[in-house]
Amino acid sequence: MTNMQSIIEQLQYWLLKVPEAFHVMTETEMTQRPAPNKWSKKEFLGHLCDSALVNLERFVKIQYETSPYVVTTYDQVQWVELQGYQKIPIDDILL
């Protein structure tokens, strides 16, 4: 098996397992923060979604922008707060 095939299979595995894991958790388990100023599981999952969108844009731009490519940053904490991941239904994050 090629390395790329292995990566594809791992991604497929997690695309199935993450929703399964969240669907067996209680709302409290999903929204409980492990410490002050730390994200809950729902917020962390939402952050991963935000990060995927930001990185997709970066991957596209790096193909056509002049060198050196400058990575644009974003306020991850503010994005999580603005999206309100803590309060929205888990299916809205997973879909």
Residue-wise pLDDT tens digits, 53-82: 999 999 999 898 888 888 889 999 999 999
Q: Indicate the number of domains in the chain.
A: 1
- Look at residue 60 and tell me if it is in a domain: yes
- Look at residue 21 and tell me if it is in a domain: no
- Look at residue 19 and tell me if it is in a domain: no
The residue segments making up the domain with residue 44 are 26-94
Q: Which pair of structure tokens corresponds to residue 37?
A: 């100023």
- Look at residue 63 and tell me if it is in a domain: yes
- Look at residue 67 and tell me if it is in a domain: yes
Q: What is the pLDDT of residue 1?
A: 64
Q: How confident is the model at residue 92 (pLDDT cuts 50, 70, 90)?
A: very high
Q: What is the pLDDT of residue 2?
A: 83
- Look at residue 81 and tell me if it is in a domain: yes
Beta-sheet strands, E only, within the chain: none
- Look at residue 10 and tell me if it is in a domain: no
Q: What is the pLDDT of residue 33?
A: 97
- Look at residue 6 and tell me if it is in a domain: no
Cβ atoms within 10 Å, residue 47: 17
Q: What span, in angstroms and rounded, lies between the C-alpha atoms of 95 and 30?
A: 16
pLDDT digit string, tens, across residues 18-38: 999 999 999 999 999 999 999
